[in-house]
Chains A and B, each alone.
Chain A
């Protein structure tokens, strides 16, 4: 048999059918017309029959075997038109399906194409070009504008703007300089970087994302498993019915038509096409969803539980209020910063950072400093003694706290702030309030989650009640649970899940990996680069923005809706087809036409998911 491509075969068959139709109706030459029809049936039917025989050798009856049987039957009873139409529609349908199916997979394919292809490496003082797989850990890699970074690494030299869209889905380029981490697959837009390779080849975050997405796209949803079982029984049942019809009624046409519709193609394909489109859309927006079942769960979640530190908050304390009593605010900050110069305490770091950004100078160390554990510190500078710490430090040193100061401290603390008192040896100079800053998107996120139909948005934290209450109020949470041990978090998740339905735990994936792993559904925020988070979470938000959570959830809802539309549509078509065939409204070719159209409709519907965008999303 000479080699002709699928599309050529479609054309030839189509032309033969048209020619034969014209001959019959216009020129009235039914004899030649029939011959052309038979020819069309053979051209289109040959590959179908070939596939059928190939499968039969392994004792497998596929849809092509059924179609071949139906066509042979149609030819034998003289239904040439039907035979040609069935084969043509089957082949043409498959051809269109493969074209549209490619579309549903295009998002993931596009991701694959973002992989870096060359690496410029400095070895023995010479610059050489390698493939990214040939780079060795520790190599110094040079990246120029327009090039992709080929490794995960640390910047050693240079300064550049890097677009990290491939990893985080964020297209705003970030400035990278010495000491910053960079990801493989991201694009250097302007500047120049020398990077020390930390992770290469398959170990890079980008490669791992690709692997995970590839696995995720074929992890079956629960509905899908059910449908596969259904079709496993449906097909033999219809074949049996066809045989019964033939034996009992001797109605050859009816029984052949049954064979054509025995394979519920739209039903089988209804969920996987939606899922691959949904996962593909997510992957392009920095949302990694690990499979169909996860999409189903996320799409129907009723409770979202947040971890506090690093999730709802930035995860690093910062100065929120400066109240100077005897001196200016700047002077207060300057003195405190000098006193805290060598302290490693996170609160001290926060004060230094604030002083630095406000005053824009570097500070000289105090002449003497003594750290008093559990209280604060005492430092000598500029002929003064400065005390920085809590109430206890003041009491021990005999510094009076007036009623006003005490009230101010209490009000700050009720807001979840840590108040640091600064004094000299006689009186209080001022109070600096420090808190873990709430992420700026947090409040908006809670609102959009509610709008998406989440019943309860809660917070689970190991932190104290005061701090938890303050944050819960500001962000607008329904409830909070404080002072929890990791195992308490799991117990509470179980409880809310029993009461409201599927519960999702959101964390940064590092501090709370166990809670994420044991939750119904664990979501890690800012997962790029942290292996634990990427491994344990069911959904990974690559960038450090929690607003992506509402995107992930909205996308999952849309995917679930899309899947349901496909399933209901496919079931209705299967039912109507069967009824139509039995009632003799639908014959061979029209049965095949409806069958192929329904498969196409399901795929086209799934393609819509690729265009999913969050409503009211900021750009």
Chain B
């Protein structure tokens, strides 16, 4: 199990939480997604079966949320 945290630009709408959660959850290999609304962070747990962990960051960006950093 791997855990990655993405720092996003400040989240401002309650709807974005559900959007990000929904989209990231659909990525194969992702087991858990937690969107921290106030911290504007996304915590993702995924297993090794994920081919490309960049996919998570890309998905978030494609939804229109700028990813400022990840660790």
* B is a partner of A: yes
Q: Roughly how many angstroms separate A275 CA and B36 CA in the complex, as a whole number? A: 13
Flag if A218 contacts B63 (CB, 8 Å): no
Chain B residue nearest to A55 in the complex (CB): B19
Which A residues lie within 8 Å of B38 (CB)?
Answer: 104-105, 108, 217-218, 272, 275-276
Check if A560 is an interface residue, CB within 8 A of chain B: no
Check if A214 is an interface residue, CB within 8 A of chain B: yes
Neighbour of B12 across the interface among A51, A54, A58, A94, CB < 8 A: A94
Check if A296 is an interface residue, CB within 8 A of chain B: no
Which A residues lie within 8 Å of B41 (CB)?
Answer: 214
A566 to chain B, nearest CB (A): 12
Chain A residue nearest to B27 in the complex (CB): A58
B25-42 interface bits toward A, Cβ cutoff 8 Å, 1 = contact, 0 = none: 010000000101111010
Neighbour of A97 across the interface among B12, B19, B26, B63, CB < 8 A: B12
Which B residues lie within 8 Å of A101 (CB)?
Answer: 10, 12
Provided the pairs A97-B12, A98-B12, A269-B14 are in contact, do residues A55 and B23 lie with their beta carbons within 8 angstroms? Answer: yes
Provided the pairs A98-B10, A218-B39, A272-B38 are in contact, do residues A63 and B23 lie with their beta carbons within 8 angstroms? Answer: no
Check if A57 is an interface residue, CB within 8 A of chain B: yes
Q: Roughly how many angstroms separate A94 CA and B22 CA in the complex, as a whole number? A: 21
Which B residues lie within 8 Å of A218 (CB)?
Answer: 34, 36-39
Check if A15 is an interface residue, CB within 8 A of chain B: no
Flag if B63 contacts A54 (CB, 8 Å): yes
Chain B residue nearest to A105 in the complex (CB): B38
Interface size on A, residues (CB 8 A): 30
Flag if A265 contacts B14 (CB, 8 Å): yes
Which B residues lie within 8 Å of A97 (CB)?
Answer: 12-13
Q: Roughly how many angstroms separate A102 CA and B39 CA in the complex, as a whole number? A: 11
Residue picked from B13, B39, B63, most chain A C-beta under 10 Å = B13
Provided the pairs A218-B37, A272-B37 are in contact, do residues A62 and B15 lie with their beta carbons within 8 angstroms? Answer: yes
Check if B18 is an interface residue, CB within 8 A of chain A: yes
Which A residues lie within 8 Å of B13 (CB)?
Answer: 63, 94, 97, 265
Chain A residues within CB distance 8 Å of chain B = 50-51, 54-55, 57-60, 62-64, 94, 97-98, 101-102, 104-105, 108, 214, 217-218, 232, 263, 265, 268-269, 272, 275-276
Give 27 CB contacts A-B under 8 Å.
A51-B63, A51-B64, A54-B63, A58-B19, A58-B26, A58-B59, A58-B63, A60-B19, A60-B23, A62-B19, A63-B13, A63-B15, A64-B15, A94-B12, A97-B12, A97-B13, A98-B10, A108-B38, A214-B39, A217-B38, A217-B39, A232-B18, A263-B15, A265-B14, A265-B15, A275-B38, A276-B38
A-B contact sample (7 more), CB < 8 A, given A51-B64, A54-B62, A101-B10? A58-B63, A62-B15, A62-B19, A97-B12, A217-B38, A263-B15, A272-B14
